[in-house]
C-alpha cells in the first residue's frame, strides 16, 4: 500500500491533517466542529495535492524510465520514438528524456549496422557472381583445349582468343572494383588542374571513334568554335567520366545510331549533355543504373564487355567535384546523361 502514490499521499495527508488539528486545538476558541472541518479540509486538500504531485511528477516518470530500461536490456528498441523536447523543471522528466534519446540513438546505430551487414552480404554475392562469369568461361576454353581441341589449329586459335577475352574482362572488372573501392575509402586523391573541357571531349571522341565506326554509329560534337571552355577539375577522372558516358551511348545504341555531345556554358558552369538515340532505359531501372553491377539487360551488357561499374564510378567522380550526374531517357527513343563542371574564371 505504501509503495503506490495513493498510499504515500494518504499517509502524508493524515499526518498533515493531524498536525493541523493538533495545532488548532491549542487555540482556546476552537470548537469540536471547527476541528473536524479543518481536519477534513486539510486532509482532502493535502491528499489531492500529494497524489497529483506524486503520480504525475514522480511515479509516472519512474515507471516510463523503468519501461525504457527494460527495453534497452532486452535490446527491443524497434518502436522507440524520439519525444518532442518540451521544457520541464522535473529532473526525472529530464532523465527520462535523456534515456529516451540514448535509446533512439542506439536504435539508429543498430539499424545502420544491420543495413551494412545486408549490403556487405549482397555485395560479396554480387562480386562472386561477377568474377565467376569470366573465370568460368576462360576455364571452359582452356579445359576444352587440354582435352584435345589443341590439336585442331583453327579451334586452338579461336578458343585461345576467347579465353584471352574473358581474362581481359576479368582484369577490367577487378580494376574497376579497385578504383571504386579506393575512391570510396578516400585512398584515391583528386588532382585538380586547369584544362579546356572541349579539348578533353575531343580526345575522348577520337579514342572512341573506331569503336563507334565498327557499329556504324556517328558521334557529333556541338560546341562554339570561337569559345574556350576552361575548367578546374581532375583531368584524368573527367576523361574517364566522358569515356564511360560516350562509350555507353555507343554500346547501348542501334547499329547506325547517333551520339551527340553538347558542350555549353551557362553562367559560371560548363554543361555537358551526352545524347543517344539508342534503346533507352525503362523508368523502373533509371534510378538504379548508378548502383554497382546494376544492368538493365544483364546478358547484353556483359556480352558488350560491360562490368556494370561504369556509371557507379562516374557518379563517384562527379561527387568528388561537388557535381552530379543526371539522366533522362525514353525507351526506344534514347537517353541523355548530363553533368556540369565549374567554369574557370580568368583573372
Ligand atoms: N546510354 C545508355 N542507353 C541505355 N542504357 C544505358 C545507357 N548507359 C547505361 N545504360 C544501362 O545502365 C547500365 C549500367 O551502366 P554502366 O554502369 O556503364 O555499366 P556497363 O558496364 O554495363 O556499361 C548498363 O548495363 C545499361 O543497361
Ligand atoms: Mg558502361
pLDDT of residue 74: 81
C-alpha cell at 25: 486545538
pTM given for the model: 0.73
- Phi/psi for 159 (5° steps) reads -70, -40
Q: Which atom of ligand 1 is nearest to the CA of 244?
A: 18
Whether 310 lines ligand 1, by a CB cut-off of 6 Å, is: yes
Query: Do residues 282 and 261 touch, judged by C-beta distance below 8 A?
Result: no
The model's pLDDT over 44-68, given as tens digits with 9 standing for 90+, comes to 999 999 998 888 878 888 888 888 8
pLDDT of residue 86: 65
Q: Where in the chain is the domain with CATH 3.30.565.10?
A: 192-342
pLDDT of residue 301: 66
Q: Which ligand is nearest to the CA of 169?
A: 1
The model's pLDDT over 141-161, given as tens digits with 9 standing for 90+, comes to 999 999 998 898 889 999 999
Q: How far apart are CA 335 and CA 11, in angstroms?
A: 81
Query: For 164, what's the count of Cα atoms within 13 Å in the CB-facing half-sphere?
Result: 6
Beta-bridged to residue 233, according to DSSP, are 193
pLDDT of residue 95: 85
- Nearest Cα neighbor of 32 from 20, 24, 41 is 24
pLDDT of residue 89: 64
Which residues in 304-325 are b (16+ Cβ under 10 Å) and which e?
eebbbbbbbbbbbbbebbebeb
pLDDT of residue 45: 94
Query: Do residues 286 and 342 touch, judged by C-beta distance below 8 A?
Result: no
Whether 96 lines ligand 1, by a CB cut-off of 6 Å, is: no
- Nearest Cα neighbor of 71 from 110, 34, 25, 27 is 110
Q: How far apart are CA 75 and CA 98, in angstroms?
A: 17
pLDDT of residue 73: 81
| Ranges of the chain with pLDDT below 70 | 1-3, 83-89, 299-305, 347
Q: How far apart are CA 200 and CA 165, in angstroms?
A: 29
Beta-bridged to residue 230, according to DSSP, are 196
At the second CATH level, the architecture of 120-184 is Orthogonal Bundle (1.10)
Query: Using CA positions, which residue lies closest to atom 7 of ligand 1?
Result: 248
Q: Under CATH, to which class is 192-342 assigned? A: alpha beta
H or E segment to which residue 244 belongs: helix 235-251
Q: Where in the chain is the domain with CATH 1.10.287.130?
A: 120-184
H or E segment to which residue 218 belongs: strand 218-222
Beta strand pairing call for 258-266 and 218-222: parallel
Whether 176 lines ligand 1, by a CB cut-off of 6 Å, is: no
Whether 217 lines ligand 1, by a CB cut-off of 6 Å, is: no
Amino acid at each position: 500500500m505504501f509503495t503506490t502514490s495513493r498510499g504515500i499521499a494518504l499517509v502524508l495527508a493524515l499526518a498533515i491533517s493531524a498536525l493541523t488539528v493538533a495545532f488548532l486545538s491549542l487555540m482556546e476558541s476552537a470548537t469540536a466542529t471547527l476541528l473536524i472541518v479543518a481536519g477534513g479540509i486539510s486532509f482532502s486538500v493535502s491528499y489531492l495535492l500529494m497524489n497529483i504531485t506524486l503520480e504525475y511528477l514522480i511515479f509516472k516518470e519512474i515507471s516510463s524510465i523503468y519501461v525504457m530500461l527494460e527495453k534497452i536490456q532486452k535490446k527491443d528498441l524497434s518502436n522507440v520514438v524520439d519525444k518532442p523536447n518540451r521544457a520541464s523543471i522535473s529532473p526525472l522528466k529530464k532523465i527520462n528524456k535523456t534515456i529516451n534519446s540514448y535509446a533512439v540513438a542506439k536504435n539508429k546505430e543498430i539499424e545502420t549496422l544491420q543495413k551494412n551487414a545486408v549490403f556487405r552480404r549482397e555485395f560479396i554475392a554480387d562480386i562472386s557472381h561477377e568474377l565467376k562469369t569470366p573465370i568460368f568461361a576462360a576455364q571452359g576454353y582452356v579445359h576444352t583445349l587440354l582435352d584435345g581441341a589443341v590439336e585442331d589449329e583453327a579451334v586452338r586459335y579461336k578458343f585461345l582468343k576467347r579465353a584471352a577475352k574473358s581474362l581481359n574482362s576479368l582484369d577490367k572488372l577487378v580494376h574497376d572494383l579497385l578504383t571504386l573501392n579506393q575512391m570510396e575509402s578516400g585512398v584515391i586523391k583528386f588532382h585538380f588542374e586547369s584544362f579546356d573541357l572541349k579539348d578533353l571531349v575531343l580526345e575522348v571522341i577520337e579514342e572512341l571513334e573506331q569503336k563507334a565506326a565498327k557499329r556504324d554509329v556517328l558521334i557529333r560534337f556541338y560546341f562554339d568554335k570561337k569559345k574556350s571552355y576552361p575548367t578546374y577539375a581532375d583531368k584524368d577522372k573527367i576523361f574517364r567520366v566522358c569515356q564511360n558516358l560516350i562509350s555507353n551511348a555507343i554500346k547501348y545504341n542501334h547499329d547506325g545510331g547517333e551520339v551527340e555531345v553538347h558542350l555549353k556554358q551557362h553562367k559560371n558552369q560548363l554543361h555537358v549533355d551526352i545524347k543517344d538515340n539508342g534503346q533507352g532505359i525503362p523508368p523502373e531501372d533509371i534510378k538504379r543504373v548508378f548502383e554497382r553491377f546494376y544492368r538493365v539487360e544483364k546478358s547484353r551488357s556483359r556480352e558488350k564487355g560491360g562490368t556494370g561499374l561504369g556509371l557507379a564510378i562516374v557518379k563517384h567522380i562527379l561527387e568528388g567535384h561537388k557535381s552530379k550526374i543526371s539522366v533522362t531517357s525514353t525507351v526506344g527513343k534514347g537517353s541523355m546523361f548530363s553533368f556540369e563542371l565549374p567554369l574557370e574564371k580568368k583573372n
